[in-house]
Amino acid sequence: MAPKVAAGTVGANGVVKKKRVVTTAADRERAKNKAADARYEAAKTDEARAWINPAKLLNDFFSRDREDVMALKIGAGTRRDICARAEALGLHVQMFDTQSRRNGPLESWIVLGLLSSRHLVDDKVRDIQRQSKRELQRAEDEAEDEDEADAGAEGPKNPAEMIDPSLREQKAPVAQMMLPPLRQATTKPKDIVQDLPDQTSKTTTETAQMSLPSEEIEAAKQLSDLKSSAMPARPVFRPESSQVEATRSSETPVVPDAPPYDSTAEQAVAEDATENDRIASWVSQQAQPGQTDKDTLDLTGTWKITCAAIAEQLGSSSSDLTMKIHLEPTQPQSDNDTDDDPATTSVTSSDQLTDTQKARLGTYQLWATFNFGLYHGLIRFMSPTTPNTSPLTRSSFDLSPTQLPSSKNLTFQYKWRGRETSDEEISLEAEKAIQWVKFEENGVKLTGVFESEYLGETGFEGQKIGKGEGEKEDLGRMWSKVSPQAHEAEAKSKE
């Protein structure tokens, strides 16, 4: 039935007004089926056809009297649908999962055939499983080779090796060669003398004449003891007292490139350190720098995404998959639970925030905008300990400063919202999809799982290729514009 056309009316000037086309639910269903048929014919693989119209795929494939076997690597949801339809047709079905690398995502397989060719189905399953095991073994062998190569590379030198051997041969005072000269007192009060392990108390003159132990094992032992006593890295000492500093400033030179360190422990260290303490502690600092604020990882920027399942559907255009990660302070004024209805989206003034919204101040939001070929939209990351409740409140995405990406916080849950690229329709299935992503290699690589109605659960990988840009505006409001409420509003507007 063709869409109904309302009769045009004649205006005051005698011109017939433009006719308005009235569409019914049946009209919309026919248009949707027509679009699905066009997508089915344009699909390049059986996996894509299985997601678009599984019944048509099975009928087309097994309508001819032959002993062909169909093997599909598809998402879990599509596999369940295919299995139900195949069993209704009396086909022999085998379902199983494989894994191409250790700790990687599972790949869902289904193999189908006629009952008369069930032996061919079983043979196909064994072939796929054997191939998967070979790929898994190959990946493990490559990982072992990389580990061996890394182990064979030149690592950080032993602290004792960092001192020129000629210094030992000359038996010169090491302190005078590696460090600025220090004022030597003629006497040492007994209450500030500290002995090194397994050493007897020595006078200042005897200490100055000592050289670093020639045996590396003894040097390592002393360094281990010094590290356990939590001494500062480099022996540059400035007493806290301004009076003591004034009396000693003319005698003790200052190293211009000395790094900053905790001044609260300076005086105690100045009193307790001996000549060998200062030498060994400084050498240890050169070999193993201490932990700093650089432990925090900067994930913001552009990422190149690769996904085998999407590549099978898109072909060469799958090389354009990208994701951009953004980090911003939480803005409850424009990112709150009432904003899921885009018709009421507004910015609340700071003085009108509720106590719940004020509690979110001081936290952060880790966002991503993405284009995965079949879908495009937004990602919101959350802590791996966040409970998976439905629906998720906006505060579920809040990250405290201790939950931000770092060498200890590498795995995050995430939720996505977006549109199908083919028809720009908001994906409702995304509301149920909560998956994970793990960052690796100091925040320049990632692996994760993406879930959608089209693909099911599929693994993807990413490589950072660009630095972070300026703060993205209105991400909270953009999130609202692809909500289920927004989908409903768009559907009504098309009626």
pLDDT for the residue 283: 39
Cα dist from 32 to 46, 376, 455, whole Å: 21, 21, 20
Burial of 445 (0-12, 13-18, 19+ CB in 10 A): middle
Q: Determine contact, residues 208/177, Cβ cutoff 8 Å.
A: no
Contact 375, 427 (CB under 8 A): yes
* pLDDT of the residue at 301: 93
In whole angstroms, what is the distance from residue 365 CA to residue 380 CA?
Answer: 8
C-alpha span between 55 and 249 (Å, rounded): 89
Its pTM stands at 0.47
Joined together, the tokens standing for residue 258 give 């000395």
Give pLDDT, residue 316: 64
Q: What is the pLDDT along the chain (495 residues), one digit of tens a residue?
A: 445 444 555 555 555 554 544 557 677 777 777 777 877 887 778 888 887 888 888 888 887 666 688 999 887 778 888 899 888 888 999 999 888 777 777 788 999 998 888 889 999 999 999 998 888 888 888 888 877 776 765 555 555 555 555 544 444 444 444 444 444 444 444 444 444 444 444 444 444 444 444 555 565 555 555 545 444 444 444 444 444 444 444 444 444 444 454 444 444 444 444 444 544 444 344 433 333 455 789 999 999 999 988 888 877 666 789 999 999 998 877 777 766 766 555 566 777 788 888 888 889 999 999 999 999 999 999 999 888 777 788 888 999 999 999 988 999 999 999 998 888 889 887 887 789 999 998 899 999 999 887 788 889 999 999 987 766 668 888 898 999 888 888 888 876
**Measured CA angle at 218 (ends 212, 220), to 5 deg:** 95
Q: Which two tokens stand for residue 481?
A: 């514009």
Instruction: Report whether 303 contacts 324 (CB < 8 A).
Output: yes
